[in-house]
Amino acid sequence: MLARFVEQDKEIKELFYQKIKEKEEREKQKHLDKISEGFFGWLLEPIADVAYTWRRISEKEQGSSGENSVGLALHLWLPSNAVVINDLVLEVEPDEFIQVDHLVLNTNGIFVLETKSWDGAFLGTKDKWRMKQGNKWVEVQSPTKQNERHVKLFKKWLEENLPDLHERVKEHIYPIVIFKRAKWVKAKDCSMPVVIGGMEAVGEIRKVKGENISEEDINLIIETVKNAKPLDHEEWKRKHSKRKEEDEKRYQVTTGKTSSGKMYVRILGTKEDTQKVAEEYKNQNYTISEIRQDKKDKNVWFFYYS
């Protein structure tokens, strides 16, 4: 028996693509505006326009053939109770999209797969990636960091849309990066498995043992994904503004600096409240320390940030 394919609603998916296109156009215009501000901006702007457009098209075309062949391998070699969703598009928060090449749902886990159809030799060390060009190693965009972002945003989407389910499955979401056409790949101390081809990806998925996710939860994710729509931005802002106000009523946050200059955040509330505040700081690219409980007041928790 073959793994089952599930697709997003095509009409809804087109709405996602339209919103992504509009976002790309805005980003492109910002890029061109910066160039035009320069001394020779009027001369360079047409060249930059062509270069930017060509790069975006090239990036999209580069991935399609690899994604198709990996999807076929997943379909053929995963068990019949596995579900494969190819080219999944979601809007997590206003204008924050994720495009997952393959999402695999199975009772042993949820797998977020990023496929790269790059040619050549690649070396990844601690999520920093380089490509060999002649006798030199040149830094390239990190596929593991890219997929790490996908997993983070997918978890955020689950928490927003299926909060109870998110708590049950969040520890069983696994990222994998797949190189399809690379001649040589070596990954050392990266945050996730890196494999070559769909068959090796199937092998990584099968390594995860246990009945970690129920079929009911898998079906709930499928139905929610199939019907996921682009966000109504104004409604999202109202909802989250109200939620923030409710949170602020429930706990108190104070910030300050220690005598040694370390910045801290103290929360009068629960550890869960503190974790939520810490996550907000992480989303603003701060580095967060471990969360600790105040020794004198057990209702106070704190963390340092930099």
Identify the domain boundary among 189, 207, 233.
Answer: 233
Domain holding 274, by residue range, is 251-305
Q: Are 94 and 231 spatial neighbours (Cβ–Cβ below 8 Å)?
A: yes
Cα distances from 268 to residues 39, 255, 272, 279, in angstroms, run 54, 12, 11, 16
Quick one: 222 and 257 in the same domain? no
Can you tell me the distance from the alpha carbon of 254 to that of 264, in angstroms, rounded to the nearest whole number?
A: 8
Q: Are residues 255 and 159 in the same domain?
A: no
Residue 182 is predicted with a pLDDT of: 94
Is 243 a member of any domain? no
Tell me how many domains the chain contains: 2
Is residue 245 domain-resident? no
pLDDT of 47 reads 47
- Residue 35 has what pLDDT? 63
Q: Would 15 be classed as within a structural domain?
A: yes
Q: Are residues 137 and 188 in the same domain?
A: yes
Q: Do residues 94 and 207 both lie within one domain? A: yes
Return the pLDDT at 58.
Answer: 43
Q: Which of 233, 260, 277 is the last residue of a domain?
A: 233
pLDDT at 42: 45
∠ CA 194-199-200, nearest 5°, is 25
One domain for residues 206 and 122: yes
Q: Which tokens in the block code for residue 165?
A: 């389910």
Asked if residue 242 is part of any domain, the answer here is no
157 shares a domain with 14: yes
Query: Do 273 and 140 share a structural domain?
Result: no
Q: Distance between CA 246 and CA 228 in Å, rounded?
A: 26
120 domain-assigned: yes
Q: Are residues 143 and 265 in the same domain?
A: no
Q: Tens place of pLDDT for every residue, the chain, 306 residues?
A: 699 999 998 899 899 999 998 888 888 777 666 766 654 554 445 544 444 444 444 444 444 444 678 999 999 999 999 999 999 999 999 999 999 999 999 999 999 999 999 999 999 999 999 999 999 999 999 999 999 999 999 999 999 999 999 999 999 999 999 999 999 999 999 999 999 999 999 999 999 999 999 999 999 999 999 989 999 999 999 988 877 777 667 788 999 999 999 999 999 999 988 998 998 898 888 999 999 999 989 999 999 999
Q: 286 and 211, same structural domain? A: no
| Burial track 126-145 (b if 16+ CB lie within 10 A, e otherwise) | ebebbbeeeeeeeebebbbb
Q: Domain check: are 270 and 139 in the same one? A: no
Cα 114 from Cα 178, distance rounded (Å):
6
| Judgement on whether residues 65 and 203 belong to the same structural domain of the protein | yes
Res 51: pLDDT: 47
Which residues, 6+ apart, have CB-to-CB distance to 94 below 8 Å?
231, 233, 236, 237
* Domain assignment present for 108: yes
In a domain, 26, yes or no: yes
**Cα angle vertex 279, ends 274, 283, to 5°?**
150
Q: Do both 257 and 111 map to the same domain?
A: no
